Structure formats: structure tokens, C-alpha cells
Chain A
Amino acid sequence: MEVCVCVKRVPMVGGAIALTPDGQAVDTSMSGFTVSPHEECAVEEAVRITERHGGTVTVLTLGPPEAEQQLRDMLALGAGRAVLLATDGTERGPVATAAAITAAVRDRGFDLLLFGNEAADTGGYQVPVRVAHALGLPCVTGIKRLEVTPGAGAAGRLVAGREYRGSLESFELPLPAVVSVKEGINLPRYPSLPGRLRARRASVEVLDPGPAPAEGLRTERLRVPRAPASRARVLGSGAGAVPALVRVLDDLGVLR
């Protein structure tokens, strides 16, 4: 199985999000970078598939030269190859991103292209579908369960499941195919020290994605929505707080 996972370098956020003064970008001066959580799950899924069926995981990203770090993070988790479509750092929209990825993966013979359901920062939900369309491949999105049966030609297929309004939808697709997955499909592993060491020593293939085609959409301005104030409840202190604590845990369903 040759699996390609497309990832995106995004700001690591855990606290309040700040914007640059011009409102055009997230202020990353105090945050690090990571890949979207859905994509981390996609990489984990790909690694598990190749662990079971053999083959290689290739991680691919379109982004600034610094995105090499995120590729190495993924290599540390078990990906075997990395491709960087290096831009000058200017954000590319879904049309341009999909075009660049399509061109890069077209003749590489991947059996499966995995994506995260949407990027953590821009949340466009478009790239996997656009890539699938451009390549003429079948595509399912929002997947939380995946089973792959490798095989030559028409024998290769996958079964993908997703939850939709309380029911479980199941799809069967021939390979090659495009699948976008969601957090929850698995619990991604942490990188091991040998994994990081391998990642450090691995080479990253850097390609020029060429000029960006015109986008249909344009960013006007970013706005941070007003988050509801977080609310902490002090249940009491000492042994007297135990009954209240037990009630809360019971309500949460963590007690059996």
C-alpha cells in the first residue's frame, strides 16, 4: 500500500487566538506550529495501514520552507517519505492548494490519498474533494472508520464509515481513492525518540509548486468570535466536597 497523507502547517493554539493588526492572519509570534489534528489522525491511520499491509506512507504539504518541521514531525510518527511543495509563505486558497497537490501526486501511483477533513486554521473543507475531482478518483469525507483491503487492480478496495445524525454510514470504494478523516478515527501515537532521530536524518523532497492559479474566494478580514466565558465551579473543599464531586462524575457518565 502506497499511502499519501496531505497535511498543513497551522498555528498551534490552545489559548485565546490573537490576530495580526491588519486582521489578515493569526498572530503566531507567541504560538508554535503544528498540523491540523484531523491530519495527525490521518497520518496515524496511514501508518497503521502500512504496518498491517506493508508499503510506505508519504506525507506531503504545501507551505513555507519552515513547514519542513511539520513534515519531520510526521516522519517521526512513522511516515517514510516527505514532500514539501515550497511556497514563499503566502497563503494559498483551496483552488491553488488542490491544483498543486494534484500535480504533485498525479503520477506517483498512490493507492490511497488521505486528508484531514478540514484545515484547523482556514477550515475550507474543499481540498480533498477538489483533488479527487481533478484526478477522477472516488472520494469520501468526514470518515471515522477505515478498513483497507489491498490488492492489484480492481481487487483493492476500502470500507469507510462515518457518523451522520446518529446513524452510521458505510461506503465501499475501489482503490485508488481519496478519503478525508476526522479526529476520533484513532488515537495518534506520540513520537518515540528513535522516531525523531530517524525523522531528523530523513531527507525531505522539496518541489516547486509553480505559480498559484486564481482563487474564487478571497479573505476580507479575520475576526475572533466572542468565546463564552469559561466557567469553573468550586464544589467545596476537603472531604465535604466528595458527594458533589461524585454527582458530577456520575452525570458525566464516567462512573460505572
Chain B
Amino acid sequence: MSDIVGQAAAAAGAGPGAPARARAVIIGAGIVGNSLAYHLARLGWRDLVLVDKGPMPNPGGSTGHASNFIFPIEYSKMMMELTRDSTEQYKQLGVFTESGGIEVARTPERMTELRRRCTQARAWQIPAELLSPAQVRALVPYLDERVILGGAYFPTVGVVDSLRAGTLMREQAEGSGALTVLAGAEITGIVTDPDASRAGRFDGRTGGRVTGVRTTRGDIETDLVAICCGVWSPRLARMAGARIPLTPVVHQMISVGPIELFEKSPGEISYPIVRDVDANMYERQHGGDMEVGSYAHRPIIVDPDAIPSIEQAALSPTELPFTAEDFDPQLAQALELMPGLLGDERAGIRYAINGLISMTPDGHPVIGETPEVAGLWSVAASWIKEGPGCGRAAAEWMTGGVPEIDIHEADVSRFYPHQRTTAHVTARAREGFNKMYGIVHPAEQWESGRPLRRGPAYDRERALGAVFFETAGWERPHWYESNAALLERYEERLMRRPGEWESRWWSPIINAEHLAMRDNAGLVDLSAFAVLDITGPGALDAVQRLAVAQMDVRPGRVVYTSLLDEAGGFRGDLTIMRLGAHAFRVVTGGATGMMDAKWISDHLPDDGTATLADVTSAWTTLGLWGPKAREILARLTADDVSGQGFPFGTCRPIEAAGITVLASRISYVGELGWELYVPAEQGAALWDALWEAGQPSGLVPVGIGVYGTTGRLEKGYRAFGNELTAEYNLVEAGLARPTVKSGDFIGKAAYLAQRERPPAAVLCTLTVDDHRSASGEPRYMLGGEPVLGPDGQVLTDARGRTSYVTSAGSGPSVGKHILLAYLPAGQAREGNRLAVEYLGERYPVTVAVVGARPLFDPGNERVRA
């Protein structure tokens, strides 16, 4: 027997002391920390320490009050995979109970959304079925079917015991001798060595390197600290000078009981969980009670510093006092849906909380080493449904491997500095909260915190009626209303979309701009490019190690290359200019800029012979493309811009309109032209000069709708995150080159192995043969739809990967709606007739191209003109 005297005494240092040294210190014993400890131990790490200021098994974080149900369907593929993996882990631990779950629709718009959701489920092999109101009622006898129009049934929905799962994982790690658990020990400091700062390499890293932690039970030396503290994570990160961009947000939940019907049913749950998505609520049986949760109330953002201590909290620190005035407006809708069951006067609200959960600006977890402090990891903003999956992915990554699930969308380094500010995080959490169960269009734009990053030509673009979309804080014209005048000229080829959904966040002007660019020329604002300079005597070696392509080219060459991870999956997709013997300029997309910067920085030599500088804010980029691009540029420069004098794939400084411009002759839209790099403060001047010089040639401003979709798809260019993910490889993507460079590079061994075996799937360009739906209205796919074989089944390759549309968009010049999709090798035949499922209907498609050959201008004559 032993006595433990109160929390205060434990915090003051009672209990076993801390070991002096640890391989890794994991802070937080919620589902994530326990899972991370378990997986690190499983992967062979020992001398692990798990610290939590609270008591076991429920130290008081969000795991302790979670509603613990898991729907397999998600909007993001990564989230779906993390959830799938987590479910498998819960099942192996024996804590999963399958209950089924139904999302019900109260509106026609939602019914359509549920149809979309079932289609999405099919693409990912998730069992799903549309139900009529009567069918819903048959499964949920206490639901009033007159309130709903139908539902989407997901039979593999289930509930878990997350506290038990965490305990089992922790105990297994402890039992194997790999883990010491310090419960009731508080972290009072995270120690860093500022001299180990890699500021010379990458200006994002300012906080040095982790060397240990201080706890109320003693100090621990360690090279790796993992913050798995859920809503407290920002507070812990700040101790080391890093920022974890998440915020605690209130999610209200009540538990109503006793429910007479449930008292007769065995176990925790016997009826499907109902998501009343149009009311932003859910109803889930929990033993004799019904839990009703809400995302409908006003967003209640809580400062991490305002979370009560364990001592102060009435229930637990993350179960704040219920504010009935926020919940009450929802009662009528809950009663309407389940009048008999929830309307029972004998059933009382026995438990009600303002539960704290974590939210991030984009709704995804934050996993990985923080960009500011080496050795300081974040594994946070993970909910119950993805917790074990996040723990596993983080453990695989920490131990030097590549996470089996591509988690780049959860990478903590994806955020730019402005996205890590409290203002941004809280504004986006506020905006995102009520969208939790919303019908969110894939192109839907955020409203808060805009405009922030404005390119030098922003005012010109506004004057031209630019409709701005946001990428990484940048305001990017997606199309220009001033080009509406082009609609008449191209009316026959606009591929107008009568369907409201497909025309949302879209305009036929995009297709008109596209055609005008192909006819004459277009001017594209590319300010959002991330520009990273790698310089120094070791720069060539460093770049060679990072890039698949041969980088030992003469200065003045531009190379398009992939970056691979050790397992041969895509880690980056970008262009590199060799500016000099020891100078390379990496240009990459705004969305991935920060991740690319960290990846490159992490792989620069330790001796400091190569340094990385993020010069994004110093440079702006304008794209000039189209058959008339040369004549326009020639009006501004005396330099040789002829086909021979300035061939494709080269770059060099020219003087244009009195400005020194770094011109780079490449194209992502398949036209003759240049990316023009100028110091940011001269960007507007260059825009004006090009604009004026372009008028006689019919130059139009062109938005990202063309640059990122229509122009790209006609050329079959692959996009990182869509086609290029860790799931597929260079060979499958059709990007393998005839030879492999002799020197070593990251992922080379895996790449060589990929080349040896026939690809299981091949990336193909498909065109839609007939858009007519059953109602006669033409419909246009937006991406994510499953590809079906002649038997109506979703195509699946030899490795079990299903075929789905990775990118979709108009091809105005080829007169077809274009889809990219990986097809099983056996189905990848040009002319092969397949089908795509969209909104529950099938549309015939044809495989137009197998591999990377462009649909438009297959000989690339225009690019090389």
C-alpha cells in the first residue's frame, strides 16, 4: 500500500523521481501520447518517459470527455486514412464496438451532399448506403422520419473506449521495459541550446535544439521532446520558443437519461449514431443515456492560458461549466428529431459540459518537428478518431522512417509565420467551427484574416475585377471579371456548368481566359511562389542529394524535379534554377513552401557549407505565356529572347523596361513564355510595362483557374498533393526519366527498385464522353470521384489502391472535361472505356492518354516555339 497525498503534493514532487536521461520525453498521456509511447517502443526505442501533470488513467485532457465515436468517412483522404488506421488499432486493442452511423438530411441540398459523400466513400472503399426516411426509421426507431428527407448509412461506424485504449498502450510500453511513466509531474520548462541554432541554414529556425525538460520531479536530459498535450500544446511549445498553431474551442455536450428504451438494450450502444448534420448536432447512445453534442452554438474560443488548473477545475480542466444559454437554441431541433425519446419528462440532463477540443486553422492535426526548435515535436490537434494513427505516424517519422500514411497535410511545418499567430488561429477556428458539419465546397474560401499577403500588382488586379482565392495567405486572382468581355467571343467553347455546385467558386471566364491565352497571351501573377536560395560551396552536393534530377547542369539551366523521401514517395515537386556555380534557386508552390524549406534545411550538410535563405518576400514573379509572349517581351527588351537565343529550360537576367529581370523559360500551362522574377518593389512597374506592351497583342490577365487547372490538365502536368503523394511513385506518375543519375540522392534505392518492377498503377488522362445526368442536366466532376470498370466496380490495383479522380477540370482547347486518375496497369489502355461515379450516377469516360504525354500539343511545339 502507498499513500498519495493530493494533486498539490504530487505536483510538489511526491512519487517516483524522473530518470536523469531519456531517449525521448513525451508530454501528455491522452490518446496521442499513449499511442506515441506505444509505437516508439514497438519500433525499438527504449528509455522513454511519459509525463503528465494529471493522474492516470484520465489526466484531465480532452480524451477524458470525448464522445468516442468514429465515422470512417472524412473530407480529406489523409484524415480518412488516419481514422482508418486508428480504427484498426482500436479493434486490435479490443475496445471498438461497431454501432453503425447515419447522417440524416433535412434539406435537399444536404441530400445531394450525402449522395456526394456516398460516392466519396465508394472511392475509398468505405461501406455506405443512401437510405429513405423509412429505412432510417427502421434502424433508429425513435427518430421521426417526417423531419428528414433521407440519410447516408455507414455501417462500420463505431464507438471506442479511448481511455482504456490509452491505458493498454501505455501499459504495453511500460511492460516491455521501454517506458517510465511520471503521473502527477508537471513540466516547468523545456531546455534548449540556442548555440545549436541552425539559423545560418534556415531563417525559420530560431530556437536552437532541445536538450532536456524540467519537471516537478526532477530534470531529464533528452534530445527529443514530443508535445502531445492537446489544448495545452501551445503553452508547452512556447516554453521552448516554438508555436503550435491550435486553439482550444468549446464543444457542448449533454447526456440525457435514463432512457427507458436503452435500459432494455445490452452494453454501451445498440442503435446507430445519428449525425443531424443540418442541425449541427449528433445523438449517440451511451449506456442508458443519450449523448447530444452540438457544433451549432456560437464559436467559443478559449485562451490556452485560461484553462483552469486541475485543482481549480470542478470536473476536469477540459470540462468547463456548461453554458445553457448557448445550447438551448438547439433543443427544439433535437426534440423535433427524436420527440418521444428526448421528450420524455422523466429523462433528465444528467451531465452537461463545455468540453474543450483542439482546432487548427485548416482542421488538420499538427504533427512533426517544429520548424523553430530542433528536437521539439508536435503531435497535437488530433481527435479520438485519428489519435492512434497520429501516434503511429509520428513514431514512424521520429524513428527515421517515412510514415506509412502520407501526412504532409498534417505537417506542423506547413504553416507560415502569419498562420501561427494567435489572431489567425482563433479567427480560422471561429470560422471553421460552424462548418464542422457544414456542406463545404472543395474550393470554398476562408473569409477571416484577408487580405494579408498582397502581391505588388494587387491594386491593378483589383481594378481589373480579380476574384481572389487565398493560398498560404496570398491573395491570388482566380479569374478576372474584366475578361467577361471574352465570353461572347468564345461562347461555343466555354463548357458552361448549369449545376449550382459545380459552378460555385467557378466562372466560365476561366475558360475564356484560357482560350485567349492560347490565342494570344496571358499575364499571370505568381507572387505566391515560395523562393528559396541555396548557396555556398556545398550547395551543388546538397541539391544533388535532394533532387531526383541531375542538378550538375550549367548555370542558367532550369530543372523540374521531384524530391523523394527515403521510401521513394513524393516529398516535393518544384523547379530549381542553377544561377551560378554555388547558387541554386528553388521555386515551389506557396502551399508547400514552408514544408519544402524545412525538408531542404533538414538535409543540408552539418558543416555549414550550404545555406538556405527564404527570399520569397524579396522577389515577385509574373508569368507571361502564349504565342504572342515573345513579341510582347521583345517590345520591352533589347536582349535576345528568340527561340535560339533563349531556349526552353534556361534562365538568365535580362533588362526589360529598365528593370533587371531574371527570366526563366518554362511553363506550367504549355505555352511559349517566361516566369519573370523581379525584386518585389519593382513588381508593379513590370506589371505596368508588360500590360502596356501587351495591349497590341491582345494580352489578357489570367488567373490561377487557368494556371492551376485548365492549362495544367490539358498538358497533363502533375500537382503535388493531388497526383504526387507518398502513395504513388515516380514510375506510376509517369515521371521516371530514361536514366538515373549516378550520384546518390534521397530515395534513390527505393526509386531504383520502383523502376525494376512493372507499375501497379499508371497515371492516366481521362476525358468525359457524356455529361448528361438522369435529369438531363449536364454535370461536371470536381475531383475525388471513383473510377469504375465495365462491371461497375471501383477499379483497384494489385496493391489494393482504388482508382479515383485526382484532378478534374475543363480543357477548353481540347473541348473536353479532363480527369486525371491512377488506373490499374491492366486498365491503363488508351481508348479504354470506363465510367466515373458522380452523385450516385455513372458517366462514361475514355482513357485518352496513358502516362504523361500532354492531351494538348503532345509534341510540346508551343512550349518550345
Quick check: which of B30-38, B140-148, B337-345, B411-419 contacts chain A, the rest being far away? B337-345
Give complex CA distance A69, B328 in Å.
11
- The answer on a CB contact under 8 Å between B4 and A235 is no
When C-beta atoms are compared, the residue in chain A nearest to B311 turns out to be A16
Q: A12-B321, A15-B314 are in contact. Are A193 and B343 (CB under 8 A)?
A: yes
Chain A residues, CB < 8 A from B344: 192
Within 8 A of A (CB), among B296-335: 306-315, 320-325, 328-329, 331-332, 334-335
When C-beta atoms are compared, the residue in chain B nearest to A27 turns out to be B312
Chain B residues, CB < 8 A from A16: 309, 311-312
- The answer on a CB contact under 8 Å between A193 and B342 is yes
Interface mask (A67-101 → B, CB under 8 Å = 1, otherwise 0) = 00100110000000000000000000000000000
- The answer on a CB contact under 8 Å between A196 and B321 is no
Quick check: which of A116-124, A134-142, A162-170, A224-232 contacts chain B, the rest being far away? A224-232
Partner of A193 from B6, B310, B331 at Cβ < 8 Å: B331
When C-beta atoms are compared, the residue in chain B nearest to A68 turns out to be B325
Interface flag for B19 (CB, 8 Å): no
When C-beta atoms are compared, the residue in chain A nearest to B290 turns out to be A193
Interface flag for A53 (CB, 8 Å): no
When C-beta atoms are compared, the residue in chain A nearest to B55 turns out to be A232
Interface mask (B1-23 → A, CB under 8 Å = 1, otherwise 0) = 11111111100000000000000
Interface mask (B357-371 → A, CB under 8 Å = 1, otherwise 0) = 000000000000000
- The answer on a CB contact under 8 Å between A30 and B306 is yes
Q: A32-B321, A69-B325 are in contact. Are A229 and B349 (CB under 8 A)?
A: no
Give complex CA distance A234, B2 in Å.
6
Chain B residues, CB < 8 A from A195: 345
- The answer on a CB contact under 8 Å between B5 and A231 is yes
- The answer on a CB contact under 8 Å between A12 and B314 is yes
Interface mask (A187-216 → B, CB under 8 Å = 1, otherwise 0) = 001111111110110000000000000000
Interface flag for A173 (CB, 8 Å): no
Interface flag for A21 (CB, 8 Å): no
- The answer on a CB contact under 8 Å between B313 and A191 is no
Partner of A194 from B6, B315, B345 at Cβ < 8 Å: B345
Interface flag for B721 (CB, 8 Å): no
Interface mask (A216-255 → B, CB under 8 Å = 1, otherwise 0) = 0000000000000111111110000000100000000000
Interface flag for A149 (CB, 8 Å): no
Q: Could you tell me the distance in whole angstroms from the C-beta of B343 to the nearest C-beta in chain A?
A: 5
Interface flag for B633 (CB, 8 Å): no
Q: Could you tell me the distance in whole angstroms from the C-beta of B61 to the nearest C-beta in chain A?
A: 16
Q: A15-B314, A31-B314, A193-B256 are in contact. Are A235 and B1 (CB under 8 A)?
A: yes
- The answer on a CB contact under 8 Å between B321 and A192 is no
When C-beta atoms are compared, the residue in chain A nearest to B314 turns out to be A14
Give complex CA distance A207, B807 in Å.
64
- The answer on a CB contact under 8 Å between B306 and A233 is no
Interface flag for B347 (CB, 8 Å): yes
Q: A192-B349, A231-B5, A233-B1 are in contact. Are A14 and B313 (CB under 8 A)?
A: yes
Give complex CA distance A156, B307 in Å.
52
Interface mask (A4-16 → B, CB under 8 Å = 1, otherwise 0) = 0000000011111
- The answer on a CB contact under 8 Å between B2 and A196 is no
Interface flag for B346 (CB, 8 Å): yes
Partner of A234 from B4, B306, B321, B324 at Cβ < 8 Å: B4
- The answer on a CB contact under 8 Å between B321 and A31 is yes
- The answer on a CB contact under 8 Å between A18 and B312 is yes
Interface flag for B438 (CB, 8 Å): no
- The answer on a CB contact under 8 Å between A196 and B314 is no
- The answer on a CB contact under 8 Å between B324 and A73 is yes
Interface flag for B348 (CB, 8 Å): yes
- The answer on a CB contact under 8 Å between A190 and B314 is no
Chain B residues, CB < 8 A from A234: 1-4
Partner of A236 from B1, B311, B324, B332 at Cβ < 8 Å: B1
Chain B residues, CB < 8 A from A244: 1
- The answer on a CB contact under 8 Å between A197 and B6 is no
When C-beta atoms are compared, the residue in chain B nearest to A235 turns out to be B1
Q: A30-B308, A231-B3, A236-B1 are in contact. Are A193 and B314 (CB under 8 A)?
A: no
- The answer on a CB contact under 8 Å between B348 and A192 is yes
Q: Could you tell me the distance in whole angstroms from the C-beta of B269 to the nearest C-beta in chain A?
A: 20
Q: Which of B9, B306, B320, B324 has most A Cβ within 10 Å? A: B324
Chain A residues, CB < 8 A from B331: 193, 196-197, 200
- The answer on a CB contact under 8 Å between B349 and A196 is yes
Partner of A191 from B2, B335, B348 at Cβ < 8 Å: B348
- The answer on a CB contact under 8 Å between B348 and A233 is no
Q: Could you tell me the distance in whole angstroms from the C-beta of B574 to the nearest C-beta in chain A?
A: 48
Q: Which of B315, B332, B335, B348 has most A Cβ within 10 Å? A: B348
Chain A residues, CB < 8 A from B324: 69, 72-73, 196
When C-beta atoms are compared, the residue in chain B nearest to A199 turns out to be B328
Chain A residues, CB < 8 A from B313: 14-15, 30
- The answer on a CB contact under 8 Å between B306 and A32 is no
Interface flag for B350 (CB, 8 Å): yes
When C-beta atoms are compared, the residue in chain B nearest to A197 turns out to be B331
- The answer on a CB contact under 8 Å between A192 and B347 is yes
Give complex CA distance A32, B7 in Å.
22
Partner of B335 from A72, A189, A194 at Cβ < 8 Å: A194
A–B Cβ pairs within 8 angstroms, 8 of them: A15-B310, A15-B312, A15-B314, A31-B321, A32-B320, A197-B332, A234-B4, A235-B1
Residues of A within 8 A of B (CB): 12-16, 18, 29-33, 69, 72-73, 189-197, 199-200, 229-236, 244
Given A12-B314, A196-B349, A197-B335: 20 more A-B contacts, CB < 8 Å: A14-B314, A30-B306, A31-B308, A31-B312, A32-B322, A32-B323, A69-B324, A190-B350, A191-B348, A193-B334, A193-B342, A193-B347, A193-B349, A196-B331, A199-B328, A200-B328, A231-B5, A233-B3, A235-B1, A244-B1
Residues of B within 8 A of A (CB): 1-9, 256, 306-315, 320-325, 328-329, 331-332, 334-335, 342-350
Nearest 6 CB-CB pairs, A to B?
A190-B348, A32-B321, A14-B314, A30-B308, A229-B6, A16-B311
